Each structure stands twice: as C-alpha cells, then as structure tokens.
Amino acid sequence: MPELSGIDTYIIKTVEWCNLDCTYCYFYHGQDTSFEKRPRHMSRAIIEAFVPKMIEHSQAHGIDFVHLTFHGGEPLLQSKEDFTWMMEQFDRIDAAGIRTARKLTTNGVTLTDEWAELMARYNTHLAISLDGSREVHDAARVDLAGRGSYDRVIRGLRNALKWEGKGLNVGTITVLNPTENGSDLYQHLRSLGVKSINLILPEANYVTPIPVVNPDRSYAQLLKEIFDAWVEENDDSVDIGFFGDVVRAVAGLPASSDQFGFAPVRVAVLETDGSVQPTDNFRSCADGMVELGINIFRDSIDDLYYHDFFQLCINQQAFIPEECGGCKFVNVCGGGRISTRYSREEGFKRKSVHCDALYGILDHAAKTLQKNSLA
C-alpha cells in the first residue's frame, strides 16, 4: 500500500469560547493562551477561503476522503444559520469528488431537538462529552458558575438519540477518571443507549502533569476494567475506538489512533482568526507552540503540511524514546502520543507520561486475546 501524503483531517474551531469550565481542559487550562486574542466566532470569510484551498490540497495529494469536525470551545454556541451555511459550503467539497465525513464534538449542554434534527440533515457524526456517572462527571465538567452539567448533558444525549440512524450517528467521549470503577462506567454508558464510545486519557506531559484524582487507583486499572466489561458483553455493535486500536496493535496491525506514537498525525486545525495549525494537543506543552504564522487567507494547506513542525507530527515514529528500549510493546506503542512525551529540557524525547496506562492495557489485551484463542 503506498504511503499516504497530505492532510485528511480538519478540526474547525467555529467557536473560541465555552459555556463549561472543565477542570482538565487543556485548551483553557493548559500552557497556551492564544485563545485570549482570537475572535469568539469564526467568520464566513474564513470558510470561503478554506474550502477551495482544502480542495486544491486534497486533489494535489490524491486524497478522496476527508474528515471535517466542528469543534471549539463549544460549537453549538454558533448560530444554526451559520452552521447550515457552512455545511452548504462543504457540499462543494463533495461536488469536487472528495467525500466528506462531517462531525461535531459538543459538551451537550445546549443540544436541543432542533439542533439534532439540523445535524441529521447533513449526516453528522456527533460526539457528546460524558465522563460517566453524575458524581464523576460533575466533579470536573462544571459550568461557569461551578454547577455540574450532567443533567443537561443527559437531556442533550437523549435529544440526539431520537435521531440515531436517521442521519445522525451518536457517540460519547469520556475523559478517563480512575475514581470510577470501569465496569460501572461501561454499564452506565450502555444503559443510556450509547454504542459508540471514545475513551481519552487526559492530555498531559512532563509540563502539564496527569491529574491525580485517586492515588489508590490507576488509569491502567480503569482501562482493564472497561476492556473486560466490553469483552464480556460481546456485542459487535458496540464500538470503542481506543480498544479497537489496542486489539489491532497487539495483533500486529497498524493503529489509527494517535494515542500510539506509530500513528501519523495528519490533522490540521482551522482557528477563528484563520490561523492553520497542527493538532491542538500541543497546547498543553508550551504557550504559542502551534502558532506557526500560517493563515488561510494568505497561505496554502501545503504550507502547513510541509512545515518542519507538522512533519514531526507525521514522522514521530522515526525517533523512539531511549527510555522505551527493550519494551516488548515498543513496536506497537512507539512511545505514545507525541504531545504526551514533551518536557522543557528534552523536547519530545521522553516516553509518554501515560506509559503505565498504555503498557497495562496492551499487556492485558494481549493476554486476554491469547486466553480466548486457547479457550
């Protein structure tokens, strides 16, 4: 299979502010402060400049399928009129022979039935942030007045699920918190009717440490518990992307998730001022790290793609951390997501701060698969 080139995933920051103040948010509570200087909403002029340049880049690199994700901040704080207009502009991409997967990531607080119906018209993949039980969710995902958001998120999720299979594909995003038992977390999400579950380790590195929410429990333990609950249910309709990558990785197949250092990060972020940047996980590393001076009004997508920093994202597997030498999963994990390896002293040369969690779930999955194959 020929090596892919170019950028095929775009995070479109339509709104630069949020109605929640999540304690672990790398965007507003990380190292980067650039959001303070940007417009709160993306203008239509930015999308008008973006669409033809994205088409040009895709055609030049032979890309015939792209992912377009509305993101923020909180993208449902834009107007429905602007959302509809932007979706119509994206129709031009499909008309150029480049298929689009349209996605939206939301905290769910303002997710009404009207919003769900509108997104369903455009065959949207919707991801709603939900961290588990009310207690765990409300401990971190609070509004600007410090109130928990669980009840509002559940209401939004139920509004969305009415449109499941009618143009809307609904899933959840869970930032992991070892306070909760993994089996309980899994059963809670399943009881709500969720079949697409995205598990995320909190964005951290040697500058921004991993949140310690329960010193007696580890992220590895939590992941193992969720994995066992998933395996025990044995329902092929339940998709957990993180575990799908884990299973593929231990089977010797390529991983698509950038939780592993061997997956090239071919992601561009379009900001509300027209800036075009690498994936914003790097905001947790250093202030201004993703500020490369590239703007959609002035520059091409190729200008980002061929920038030395972006090429580092793509070729991160070229430099395995020395600390990983001798690890039995080094050819699977690759040292972990590149942003989680960062330290001020050594740049990206350290192993992931999530090494214990990644090693733990890879080892557990490998043993589980071996045991099941012998059963």
- The predicted structure's pLDDT at residue 3: 57
Total number of domains constituting the chain: 1
Q: Do 268 and 301 form a contact (C-beta atoms < 8 A)?
A: yes
Q: Is residue 4 part of a domain?
A: no
Report, as an integer, the average pLDDT of 356-361.
Answer: 96
Contacts of 165 (CB under 8 A, 6+ apart): none
Least-confidence region, from 139-143, 187-191, 313-317: 313-317
Q: Is residue 86 part of a domain?
A: yes
CATH at 190 = 3.20.20.70
- The predicted structure's pLDDT at residue 16: 94
Q: In the numeric block, which tokens belong to residue 210?
A: 């991993």
Q: Is residue 2 part of a domain?
A: no
Strands (DSSP E) contained in 183-340 are 196-200, 239-240, 267-270, 276-278
Q: Which of 375 and 215 is assigned the larger pLDDT? A: 215
Report, as an integer, the average pLDDT of 258-263.
Answer: 70
Q: Is residue 284 part of a domain?
A: yes
- The predicted structure's pLDDT at residue 44: 98
The band of 262, judged by pLDDT with boundaries at 50, 70 and 90, is low
Report, as an integer, the average pLDDT of 183-197.
Answer: 98
Span 115-132, pLDDT tens digits: 999 999 999 999 999 999
- The DSSP symbol for 201 reads P
Residue (of 311, 308, 310, 340) closest to 324 by Cα position? 340
Report, as an integer, the average pLDDT of 55-81.
Answer: 97
How does the average pLDDT of the chain come out, rounded?
A: 94
Give the sign of the dihedral formed by CA 220, CA 223, CA 229, CA 234. negative
Q: What whole-number distance in Å separates Cα of residue 261 and Cα of residue 316?
A: 6
Least-confidence region, from 14-18, 134-138, 336-340: 336-340
Q: Is residue 3 part of a domain?
A: no
Residue 2 pLDDT more than 50? no
The band of 213, judged by pLDDT with boundaries at 50, 70 and 90, is confident
Residue 1 pLDDT more than 50? no
- The predicted structure's pLDDT at residue 105: 98
Structural domain of residue 40, as residue ranges?
9-362
Give the sign of the dihedral formed by CA 143, CA 144, CA 147, CA 152. negative
Please report, for residues 22, 83, 345, the alpha-carbon distance to residue 285 in angstroms, rounded to integers and kept in the order given: 18, 31, 12
Residue 140 pLDDT more than 80? yes
Q: What whole-number distance in Å separates Cα of residue 10 and Cα of residue 265?
A: 11
Q: Do 245 and 321 form a contact (C-beta atoms < 8 A)?
A: no
Q: Is residue 309 part of a domain?
A: yes
The band of 236, judged by pLDDT with boundaries at 50, 70 and 90, is very high
Q: Is residue 372 part of a domain?
A: no
- The predicted structure's pLDDT at residue 76: 98
- The predicted structure's pLDDT at residue 14: 97
Q: Is residue 369 part of a domain?
A: no
* Residue-level length of the chain: 375
- The predicted structure's pLDDT at residue 320: 85
- The predicted structure's pLDDT at residue 253: 80
Report, as an integer, the average pLDDT of 294-308.
Answer: 98
For the chain, the farthest-separated pair of C-alpha atoms sits apart, in whole angstroms, at 60
Report, as an integer, the average pLDDT of 253-260.
Answer: 72
